Amino acid sequence: MKIRTVEPIEVAAPADERSSPWSSTVILVKVTTANGAVGWGEAPTTLMTHPVRESVREVARFYEGRELADHSKALREFERYSFYRSRSMEATSALSAVDIACHDLLGRELGAPISTLLGGAIRESVRAYSNGWYSDAIAPEEFARKARAMVDAGFGALKFDPFGDQYRTLSTDGLAAAVGRVKAVRDAVGESVDLLIEYHGRFYPESAVRAGRALDAFHPRFMEEPVIPELTDSLAEFRRHVRTPVALGERLLNAADFESFLARGLVDILQPDITNSGGFTYGREIAGVAAAHGAPIAYHNAFGPVQTAATLQIDAVLPTFFLQESFEASWPEWKRSLVHGYSLERGVFAIPNGPGLGITVDEKAVEKYRSEMVDPIGPEPPWVIAGTWVGRDHRQR
């Protein structure tokens, strides 16, 4: 069964919907075989929608015309040709999406979920933590009210960024505001709920340490990307001064990167992203590195529903699975309409056991929302939850 076409498809929010820039576009990849079978993958965006889409076209040249059973040879050939792949998220994102789609096709052909192709599921469901729930929250009481609603919906773990408009450095007032927000959430949900603090890789080491020491008092389960990516060696200093475990990984692209961070003692909890770290093929390698170190894995999952479906398949086989990120409770309707086949109930994902990804992509919805839109910019950076940097009133001007 030969691969006939590899097609990148951009879908985007309708014009009348306001959303966080990083969630406004989705890159899907449709791989079609010569006999008309279709598999789906997804790649991340975040201010690189068009570069990733064009990178898919480059990757496609290595896959089109090749037997589906030989898709791993195409991946390894791309490795050989793509000189900057190990440091190009555009290249690895495109490769990841195609790899996911090929596994989807193989699973459908064999009548088995991808978890079976990866060695067999060891769990049928996974615990999720909610993200994205705190849009338009600035004041502590706004964070508290929204957090309580997520707990009432069944989530026992919440991730959020309490740092507002602070960037690189952290002022005294900025730290006090962050402490106020985290305290309000902790008071609202109690000690039984896991709080996960998102830094978004925004601070110089001194500011990150000050924040970490102040927020230790609220017993977070982890702190994510506390320092800017260029200075990650300083995580050793952060871990000497801060008790809370460090999580990271959404910007790491291969197993060697993860091994380096673990070997140097810079991270406690790994957060690979299946849509930029090589799909299932590299995912197996990353899982092996994590298992060798006994490192918990909590996959990053911030974009669209094909990404979620793929992530659940690898969650099913991870020996060191920890938690699964979920934005589903905060998604707009257009994004929900793209895929059917997996469920999230009371903070728990059931892992689909149908063939391939175990989902159905609604191609009518895909066509309805097909777009050429460039990622929107301003007034907030594209990686924040909308309305938490400048507030709703300023954002709507």
User: How many other C-beta atoms lie within 10 A of the C-beta of residue 336?
Assistant: 12
- Tell me if residue 300 is catalytic: yes
The CB density around residue 227, as the number of other CB atoms within 10 Å, is 26
DSSP secondary structure letter of residue 119: T
Q: Note whether 205 and 189 are within 8 A (CB).
A: no
Backbone angles phi, psi at 193, to 5 degrees: -95, 135
Cα 306 → chain centroid = 11
Q: Coil, strand, or helix at residue 195?
A: strand
Beta-ladder partners of 126: 349
Instruction: Compute and round to an integer the Cα radius of gyration of the chain.
Output: 20
As a whole number of angstroms, the distance between CA 101 and CA 107 comes to 10
Element of type H or E holding 55: helix 49-63
Name the catalytic one among 71, 103, 200, 394.
200
Cβ atoms 38, 64 nearer than 8 A: no
Catalytic residue among 50, 300, 340, 394: 300
The full length of the chain comes to 397
Strand partners, 285: none
Residue pair 338/366 in contact by the 8 Å Cβ criterion: yes
Residues involved in catalysis: 200, 300
